[in-house]
Chain A
Amino acid sequence: MATLSLRHIQKIYPLRDDDKEEKKRKRRKKGEEPEVKKSHNLKITDEGVVAVDDFNLEIDDKEFIVFVGPSGCGKSTTLRMIAGLEDITRGELYINGRLVNDVQPKDRDIAMVFQNYALYPHMTVRKNLEFPLEIRNTPKEEMAQKVEWAADILGITPYLNRKPKALSGGQRQRVAIGRAIVRDPQVLLMDEPLSNLDAKLRNQMRAEIIKLRKSLNTTFIYVTHDQTEAMTLGDRIVIMKDGDVQQIGTPQQVFDQPVNLFVAGFIGMPQMNLFDGELVERDGKYAVRIGETEIVLSQDKQRNLADANAKPQKVIVGARPEHIILDGGNGPLIEGVVDVTEMMGSSVHLHLDVNGKDCVIIAPRLELNAGHLTVGSTVRFTLAPNAVHVFDPQTEKNLECR
């Protein structure tokens, strides 16, 4: 039973004194404006670097929320603010309706799984699991019972008397998860728990987290930079970039209706293909034009664009690889030359050169076997009218959602 609500959460890291002085000196020397940090496009105000800006989210009981975004986007910072490991600069954080901005982590009834496991190396697995209970003065019997329960769920019973260093990476991560669930927290926070595991183990653990979720009555908040994890695990996904929330929605929503170019490019594997094009209106119907090719959009898209009052303009047209139709449709088709073919087993990924831009399409294997998709050959294709996205080239926003 835990609902969370994050209202206008903001995190600003004050600039260090030496940074400030350096800037002053530079300004004095060259008479220039101070340089903005280049690595991320984080906003810098007089107060400092804005790591998370105006984060708003209502989380339902037992919901599985995933924060996803490239490194440095503020997703871990937000998680750490919820955990209480970082101060909240501005905004309000409520857990079950209680304002917890100034509540100690131990009194928030949350648990957290760290990316690097953070097990206590001097304690056995059993002691590791007991630690959170022991520190809360749980009676011995109850403690043993709970440890057994957690160990059983995670399949680590045989290792209870080992030290963490005698465990493999996957086993250590299980212990870390066990330590988090053992006291039945209201909210379970996970900070990239799988990113230290190898690909096979990661898939396995992902499935286990889904199972675990079913057996626990807990709200989950999960941080990852892997869009596959986000899509498969989350009830809702929060996509972040440079401290700003880009979109919040179900996996289906963010996949089908990305609000901007960033979300479109971040979600989906392989990435969405982008073409320079034009939005035109013909006989009251919207169509996109890429070179000579014109694609009249589907009913839904027509309605959405009309609702958003879209005007004909230059646009960036996005289409996912799976929404590209080879040799389909009437009229002129888009042409591309096959650069690289990637054999994926059941299908083939073709990298095309379309007017100097890279474009990936997924072709069934039969096509390749038929022998007309070799490197250097020309491919003609069109886009599925119901799955084309149009983005404003300046604001990068999806024109359907204005």
Chain B
Amino acid sequence: MDTQLKKNKQNPRKTAINVLIHVLLAVLAVVWLLPIAWIVLTSFRAEPGAYTTTVLPQEYTLNNYVKLLTDRNVLDFPKMFGNTLIISIISCIISTFLVLSVAFSLSRLRFRFRKPYMNMAMILGLFPGFMTMVAQYFILKSMGLTEGQSIRIGLIVVYSACAGLGFQISKGFFDTIPRSIDEAAIIDGATEWQVFTRITLPLSKPIVIYTVMTSFMAPWVDFIFAKVLCRANADQFTVAIGLWNMLQKEYIYQWYTCFAAGAVLISIPIAALFLYMQKFYVEGMSGAVKG
């Protein structure tokens, strides 16, 4: 009887809180989804130009996509897409490897420079990367990586070079893997490399996926360094520069809706990568050790 009463008293309050929470979540969902919905709608809009009087397109068309992919004279989007894809994939492979191995070394090996290195990385990480863009340009120029095809290599170098500093999150994850598992493997006959590839990496799938995603995303969406290195070499443009150019005064009327289509297209590799990677998410560490 007593508990019954209490329940009845609490229920309206609980409901009110629930309603409040759901309203808040709904508002947030709209805030987050609206720009995406809007850009998708714009990419199918038939009327050109940036400014329209209606929220929803008057007419729908696929022409924006067709133009984006076929009109290769003014702004060669397929070329840019290919450029960026190559650069991103190669930098992704290099920097994933670097990030994970640096994190593993810092988590598992003990060497004299370990602590100073971590402190240094922390401090360097506080500065924005583009602070050094002029210096990077001149360094790459002296290496001959700023002209023609070698711009791509230059970009890969730029994007992979900072990987040694991005170890914090993976190191934090590796630290949670009990050391005795490593030691068991070492006694079972594994080398440090085998411990890394056969024990640590399979146990760290979520963080490996995270690292692959971030190291792919960073070059894929980067604008500043691409702009600095490519300058006017249109055949080396990446999608970020291309999309930005579509919004310039001389192109915007013709290209605005194509810009929207391009924005939709560049999200496809990221989504595909994520969907592919998602299946590797498996249950974590349970069962390894007691307590």
Please report the C-alpha to C-alpha distance between residue A318 and residue B42 in the assembled complex, in whole angstroms: 93
Does A91 belong to the interface (CB within 8 Å)? no
Check B287–A118 contact: CB distance below 8 A. no
Query: What distance in Å separates the Cβ of A155 from its nearest Cβ neighbour in chain B?
Result: 19
Check A117–B289 contact: CB distance below 8 A. yes
Does A196 belong to the interface (CB within 8 Å)? yes
Check B189–A118 contact: CB distance below 8 A. no
Known: A114-B180, A116-B178, A135-B194. A121 touches B285 (CB 8 A): yes
Does A249 belong to the interface (CB within 8 Å)? no
Query: What distance in Å separates the Cβ of B82 from its nearest Cβ neighbour in chain A?
Result: 37
Q: Which of A5-13, A47-55, A158-166 contacts B (4 or more CB under 8 A)?
A: A158-166
Please report the C-alpha to C-alpha distance between residue A120 and residue B204 in the assembled complex, in whole angstroms: 12
Does A255 belong to the interface (CB within 8 Å)? no
Check A105–B187 contact: CB distance below 8 A. yes
Please report the C-alpha to C-alpha distance between residue A85 and residue B286 in the assembled complex, in whole angstroms: 25
Please report the C-alpha to C-alpha distance between residue A105 and residue B183 in the assembled complex, in whole angstroms: 9
Check A116–B185 contact: CB distance below 8 A. no
Does B2 belong to the interface (CB within 8 Å)? no
Known: A85-B187, A114-B183, A120-B199. A164 touches B291 (CB 8 A): no
Please report the C-alpha to C-alpha distance between residue A210 and residue B44 in the assembled complex, in whole angstroms: 77
Please report the C-alpha to C-alpha distance between residue A112 and residue B283 in the assembled complex, in whole angstroms: 27
Query: What distance in Å separates the Cβ of A275 from its nearest Cβ neighbour in chain B?
Result: 41
Check A106–B291 contact: CB distance below 8 A. no
The size of the chain B interface, using a CB distance under 8 A, is 26
Chain A positions 76-120 with a Cβ under 8 Å from a chain B Cβ: 83-85, 105-106, 110-112, 114-120
Instruction: Render B170-213 as a binary contact track against A, CB cut-off 8 A, 1 for contact.
Output: 00000000101101111111110010001100110000000000
- Inter-chain contacts of B50 with A (CB < 8 A): none
Check B202–A122 contact: CB distance below 8 A. yes
Please report the C-alpha to C-alpha distance between residue A122 and residue B204 in the assembled complex, in whole angstroms: 10
Please report the C-alpha to C-alpha distance between residue A179 and residue B287 in the assembled complex, in whole angstroms: 15
Does A131 belong to the interface (CB within 8 Å)? yes
Which of A119, A121, A136, A196 is B291 in contact with, Cβ under 8 Å?
A196
Check A135–B184 contact: CB distance below 8 A. no
- Inter-chain contacts of A163 with B (CB < 8 A): 287
Most central of B183, B198, B285 by chain A CB within 10 Å? B183
Query: What distance in Å separates the Cβ of A250 from its nearest Cβ neighbour in chain B?
Result: 29
Please report the C-alpha to C-alpha distance between residue A85 and residue B183 in the assembled complex, in whole angstroms: 7
Does A169 belong to the interface (CB within 8 Å)? yes
Does A167 belong to the interface (CB within 8 Å)? yes
Known: A105-B186, A135-B190. A166 touches B287 (CB 8 A): yes
Chain A positions 128-160 with a Cβ under 8 Å from a chain B Cβ: 131-132, 135-136
Please report the C-alpha to C-alpha distance between residue A84 and residue B184 in the assembled complex, in whole angstroms: 11
Check B187–A167 contact: CB distance below 8 A. no
Please report the C-alpha to C-alpha distance between residue A132 and residue B195 in the assembled complex, in whole angstroms: 12
Check A167–B290 contact: CB distance below 8 A. no
Please report the C-alpha to C-alpha distance between residue A121 and residue B291 in the assembled complex, in whole angstroms: 14
Instruction: Render B252-291 as a binary contact track against A, CB cut-off 8 A, 1 for contact.
Output: 0000000000000000000000000000001101111111
Check B286–A165 contact: CB distance below 8 A. yes
Please report the C-alpha to C-alpha distance between residue A85 and residue B202 in the assembled complex, in whole angstroms: 23
Which of B184, B202, B282, B290 is A112 in contact with, Cβ under 8 Å?
B184
- Inter-chain contacts of B287 with A (CB < 8 A): 119, 121, 163-167, 172
Please report the C-alpha to C-alpha distance between residue A110 and residue B180 in the assembled complex, in whole angstroms: 16
Please report the C-alpha to C-alpha distance between residue A84 and residue B189 in the assembled complex, in whole angstroms: 12
Query: What distance in Å separates the Cβ of B176 from its nearest Cβ neighbour in chain A?
Result: 12
Query: What distance in Å separates the Cβ of B117 from its nearest Cβ neighbour in chain A?
Result: 15
Query: What distance in Å separates the Cβ of B186 from its nearest Cβ neighbour in chain A?
Result: 5
Most central of B186, B188, B199, B290 by chain A CB within 10 Å? B188
Please report the C-alpha to C-alpha distance between residue A164 and residue B190 in the assembled complex, in whole angstroms: 20
- Inter-chain contacts of A169 with B (CB < 8 A): 290
- Inter-chain contacts of A118 with B (CB < 8 A): 178, 180-181, 183-184, 288-289
Check A116–B187 contact: CB distance below 8 A. no
Check B187–A120 contact: CB distance below 8 A. no
- Inter-chain contacts of A135 with B (CB < 8 A): 188-190, 194
Please report the C-alpha to C-alpha distance between residue A165 and residue B286 in the assembled complex, in whole angstroms: 6
Please report the C-alpha to C-alpha distance between residue A118 and residue B290 in the assembled complex, in whole angstroms: 8
Known: A122-B202, A132-B188. A116 touches B286 (CB 8 A): no
Query: What distance in Å separates the Cβ of B163 from its nearest Cβ neighbour in chain A?
Result: 25
Check A120–B288 contact: CB distance below 8 A. yes
- Inter-chain contacts of B188 with A (CB < 8 A): 106, 111, 131-132, 135, 179
User: Which B-chain residue is minimally distant from A106 (CB atoms)?
Assistant: B189
Please report the C-alpha to C-alpha distance between residue A85 and residue B179 in the assembled complex, in whole angstroms: 11
Please report the C-alpha to C-alpha distance between residue A325 and residue B285 in the assembled complex, in whole angstroms: 56
Which of B189, B202, B290 is A132 in contact with, Cβ under 8 Å?
B189
Check B288–A131 contact: CB distance below 8 A. no
Please report the C-alpha to C-alpha distance between residue A335 and residue B194 in the assembled complex, in whole angstroms: 67
Please report the C-alpha to C-alpha distance between residue A116 and residue B187 in the assembled complex, in whole angstroms: 15
- Inter-chain contacts of A172 with B (CB < 8 A): 287, 290
User: Which A-chain residue is minimally distant from B289 (CB atoms)?
Assistant: A116
Nearest 8 Cβ contacts at the A-B interface: A165-B287, A132-B188, A164-B287, A121-B288, A116-B289, A118-B184, A118-B180, A106-B189
Residues of B within 8 A of A (CB): 178, 180-181, 183-191, 194, 198-199, 202-203, 282-283, 285-291
> 16 extra interchain contacts, Cβ-Cβ under 8 A, other than A118-B183, A119-B184, A121-B288?
A84-B187, A106-B188, A106-B189, A111-B187, A116-B178, A116-B289, A117-B289, A117-B290, A118-B178, A118-B288, A120-B185, A135-B194, A164-B288, A165-B287, A172-B287, A196-B291
| A-B contact list, 12 entries, CB within 8 Å | A83-B187, A105-B187, A116-B180, A116-B290, A117-B290, A118-B181, A118-B289, A119-B181, A119-B287, A121-B285, A136-B189, A165-B288
